[in-house]
């Protein structure tokens, strides 16, 4: 399996009033084509910063060391122009909260269309055809009419479907999904997960799936990276990490998954 994304010794540093702080420290992992890699960790573990670094979307002031290569192209240190060409076209990202991630002032159709036209050009009419197709692909009923609606007119699950349609409209080779199901109802979560897995399978793209939920990771990822306080504490195949975790932290995370066959414990703390 040839590697699509290679992250080597990635360090992200933020300046603070008390000196620079490394929010991501020496993280290395790879994502193959046609593969899903899960990044797991609690809030503040640096998983989102890792994904923003890949997209070149780190907040102002952040500095990076190491290397991130997408299909052999170095992302760190790429010019703003090169990054713009990659973003949305070769790599895309979907976020935790689809409502706030869509601009409330514009129809969802326009928001997908502008991405497509930024990379592929062409007429609005042609782009609209593509948008309809993309919305149909993610299972949105009546896509032609719905493209003319605004984000607030959709349910949470539909909005995430729209975000997915947008992310995939240029058929990128890498999709980064940052907690895409966290803000959704449990039943909708399952639908979105299945949709992501299906679409990834059909297109053969690589996916980085970020979550704090190990149960979700086990169902979707082939490789898992566990992060804590900016550091990589465990990295291996999903079977490896789940069957024989090498690190105490991973074991703790695994133990924290509630099971239906768990003996009832007194609630502590």
Partner 1 sequence: MARYLAGRAAGVVLILFLVCLFTFVIFFTLSPDPAVMICGKTCTPERIDQIRDVLGLDEPFLAQFFGFLAGIFAGRDYGAGANLVHCAAPCLGYSFQTNQSVWDMVVERLPVSATVAVGAAVLWLFLGIVAGLLSAVKEGTWWDRAAMGLALGGSSVPNYVLALALQYVLVVQLQVLPFPQAVAFSDGPALWFQSYLMPWLVLATGYACLYARLTRANVIDTLAENFMRTARSKGLSPALTMRRHALRPALTPIATIFGMDFAALLGGALITETVFGLNGVGKMAADSIAKNDQPVIMAVTLLAAFFVVIGNVVVDLVYTRLDPRVRITAR
Query: Using CB under 8 A as the criterion, which residues of the chain lie in contact with partner 1 when the complex forms?
Result: 55, 57, 80, 83-89, 92-93, 95, 97, 100-106, 114-115, 118-119, 150, 152, 163, 166
Q: Closer to partner 1 by CB, 6 or 99: give it.
A: 99
Quote the CA–CA distance of 236 and 222 in Å, as a whole number. 9
> How near is the Cβ of 84 to partner 1 at its closest, in Å?
5
> How near is the Cβ of 194 to partner 1 at its closest, in Å?
23
In terms of C-beta distances under 8 Å and separation of at least 24 residues, what long-range contacts does 20-24 make, across chains too? 20/63, 22/230, 23/49, 23/62, 23/230, 24/49, 24/50, 24/53, 24/230
Cα 265 to Cα 79, 213, 268, 269: the distances in Å are: 55, 21, 8, 12
Contact 155, 104 (CB under 8 A): no
> How near is the Cβ of 171 to partner 1 at its closest, in Å?
14
> How near is the Cβ of 161 to partner 1 at its closest, in Å?
15
Provide DSSP, 164-175.
Answer: HHHHHTT--SEE
Q: Closer to partner 1 by CB, 153 or 237: give it.
A: 153
Q: Closer to partner 1 by CB, 91 or 224: give it.
A: 91
Q: Closer to partner 1 by CB, 180 or 245: give it.
A: 180
Question: How many CB atoms are closer than 10 A to CB 136?
Answer: 15
109: Cβ contacts below 8 Å, ≥ 6 apart: 128, 131, 135, 147, 148
Q: Closer to partner 1 by CB, 166 or 227: give it.
A: 166
> How near is the Cβ of 135 to partner 1 at its closest, in Å?
16
């Amino acid at each position: 399996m040839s590697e699509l994304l290679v992250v080597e010794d990635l360090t992200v540093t933020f300046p603070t009033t008390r000196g620079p702080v490394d929010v991501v420290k020496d993280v290395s992992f790879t994502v193959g084509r046609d593969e899903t890699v899960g990044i797991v960790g609690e809030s503040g573990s640096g998983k989102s910063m890792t994904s923003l670094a890949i997209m070149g979307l780190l907040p102002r002031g952040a500095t990076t060391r190491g290397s991130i290569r997408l299909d052999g192209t170095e992302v760190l240190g790429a010019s703003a122009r090169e990054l713009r060409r990659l973003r949305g076209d070769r790599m895309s990202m979907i976020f935790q909260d689809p409502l706030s991630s869509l601009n409330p002032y514009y129809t969802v159709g326009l928001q997908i269309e502008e991405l497509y036209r930024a990379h592929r050009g062409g007429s609005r009419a042609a782009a609209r055809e593509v948008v309809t197709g993309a919305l149909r692909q993610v299972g949105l009923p009546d896509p032609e009419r719905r493209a003319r609606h605004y984000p607030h007119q959709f349910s949470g699950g539909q909005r995430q479907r729209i975000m997915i349609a947008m992310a995939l409209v240029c058929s990128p080779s890498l999709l980064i999904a940052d907690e895409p199901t966290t803000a959704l109802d449990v039943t909708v979560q399952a639908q979105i997960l299945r949709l992501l897995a299906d679409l990834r399978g059909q297109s053969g793209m690589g996916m980085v799936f970020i979550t704090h939920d190990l149960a979700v990771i086990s169902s979707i990822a082939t490789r898992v990276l566990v992060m804590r306080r900016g550091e990589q504490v465990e990295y291996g195949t999903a079977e490896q990490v789940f069957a024989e975790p090498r690190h105490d932290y991973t074991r703790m995370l695994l133990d924290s998954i509630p099971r239906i066959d768990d003996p009832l414990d007194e609630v502590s703390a």
